[in-house]
């Protein structure tokens, strides 16, 4: 099958581009797909928004829509809505993403929910266990913005992790104020010092080293507010991590056996909101769900569902 791609940069490591690159590596290798020009294509694949007017049947994969009341979300959403109305099929990353988008754009007659998946082999740790020995490793990773809740992630670790453990924070974007607050959390609490719980801010790690971190970690913490289907959680889950996440957004849909920390107050009603001013989260209120890690099965299902939708449009 020949595919023309809108708005896809195979050299970018942004979440949408990285997942799409991994997806098409599998479709090309296993199912005989190929990229081509628009005129020669059988189907068009649109990542979030179109780059040109469509000529062939088009699948739209939505990464989410804009709803931050501090931004011009109507202007930001306009090209997404245009692609949504033009699409012959729409793929949502999560049921949360589907509910949100349909509340704003209306229902699409041919929509599907396909959660992101990890398609590669697990990367074995060759570094972190050598550094930290028998100490249990917890981790988190993000492009840190206020709604990703770095401080809350650290507080959860400090309150819930075992003694003599470490928390490795990957990624950049946090402020100097946040960095100082983390240092103060530890320096001003003798209990954390006695229990030897330590936090390391390691900055950006390349993708190979990041997956080694996941393999070394027992637990991955992601308390982000209203995240759709974060690839860091998908990858950490595929490497066997226990996932701790918020009950807001779609993160809790990614796998089985998650520990879900409850937000304070009423559930979000999908109206515009100050995304970068998230509400407090109840760090001590959580639900542990039973279930075995099913990342491999999810990857198979993800791939087969995408292939089925592509072939249905020919």
Q: Given a cut of 90, is residue 266 above it in pLDDT?
A: no
Mean pLDDT of 132-160: 96
Per residue in 165-206, pLDDT (tens digit) is 999 999 999 999 999 999 999 888 888 888 899 999 999 999
With contact defined as beta carbons under 8 Å apart, do 171 and 143 qualify? yes
Per-residue model confidence (pLDDT) at position 36: 96
Per-residue model confidence (pLDDT) at position 279: 93
Per-residue model confidence (pLDDT) at position 195: 87
Per-residue model confidence (pLDDT) at position 38: 97
Rounded CA-CA distance 207/273 in Å is 32
Mean pLDDT of 36-54: 97
Confidence of residue 292 (pLDDT cuts 50, 70, 90): confident
Per residue in 66-97, pLDDT (tens digit) is 999 999 999 999 999 999 999 999 999 999 99
Mean pLDDT of 118-137: 96
Per residue in 144-153, pLDDT (tens digit) is 999 999 999 9
pTM, rounded to two decimals: 0.95
Per-residue model confidence (pLDDT) at position 13: 87
Rounded CA-CA distance 157/119 in Å is 29
Query: Dihedral of CA 299/302/308/311: which sign?
Result: negative
Rounded CA-CA distance 191/169 in Å is 21
SS3 184: helix
Mean pLDDT of 144-164: 96
With contact defined as beta carbons under 8 Å apart, do 59 and 43 qualify? yes
Per-residue model confidence (pLDDT) at position 190: 83
């Amino acid at each position: 099958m020949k595919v023309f791609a809108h708005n896809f940069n195979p050299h970018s490591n942004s979440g949408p581009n990285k997942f799409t690159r991994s997806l098409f590596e599998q479709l090309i290798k296993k199912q005989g797909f190929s990229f081509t020009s628009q005129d020669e294509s059988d189907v068009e694949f649109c990542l979030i928004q179109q780059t040109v007017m469509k000529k062939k049947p088009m699948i739209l994969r939505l990464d989410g829509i804009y709803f931050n009341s501090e931004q011009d979300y109507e202007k930001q959403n306009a090209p997404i809505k245009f692609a949504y109305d033009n699409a012959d099929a729409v793929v949502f990353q999560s049921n949360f993403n589907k509910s949100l988008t349909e509340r704003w754009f209306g229902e699409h007659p041919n929509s599907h929910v396909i959660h992101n998946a990890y398609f590669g082999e697990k990367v074995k740790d060759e570094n972190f266990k050598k550094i930290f020995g028998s100490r249990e490793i917890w981790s988190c990773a993000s492009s840190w913005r206020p709604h990703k809740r770095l401080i809350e992630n650290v507080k959860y670790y400090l309150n819930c992790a075992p003694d003599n453990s470490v928390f490795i924070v990957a990624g950049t974007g946090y402020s100097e104020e946040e960095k100082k607050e983390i240092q103060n959390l530890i320096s001003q609490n003798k209990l954390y010092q006695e229990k030897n719980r330590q936090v390391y801010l390691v900055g950006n790690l390349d993708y190979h080293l990041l997956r080694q971190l996941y393999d070394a970690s027992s637990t991955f913490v992601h308390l982000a507010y209203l995240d759709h289907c974060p690839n860091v959680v998908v990858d950490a889950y595929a490497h066997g991590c226990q996932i701790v996440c918020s009950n807001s957004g779609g993160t809790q849909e990614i796998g089985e056996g998650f520990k879900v920390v409850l937000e304070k107050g009423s559930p979000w009603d999908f109206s515009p909101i100050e995304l970068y001013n998230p509400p407090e989260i109840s760090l001590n209120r959580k639900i542990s769900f039973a279930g075995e890690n099913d990342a491999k099965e999810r990857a198979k299902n993800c791939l087969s569902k995408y292939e089925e939708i592509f072939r249905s449009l020919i």
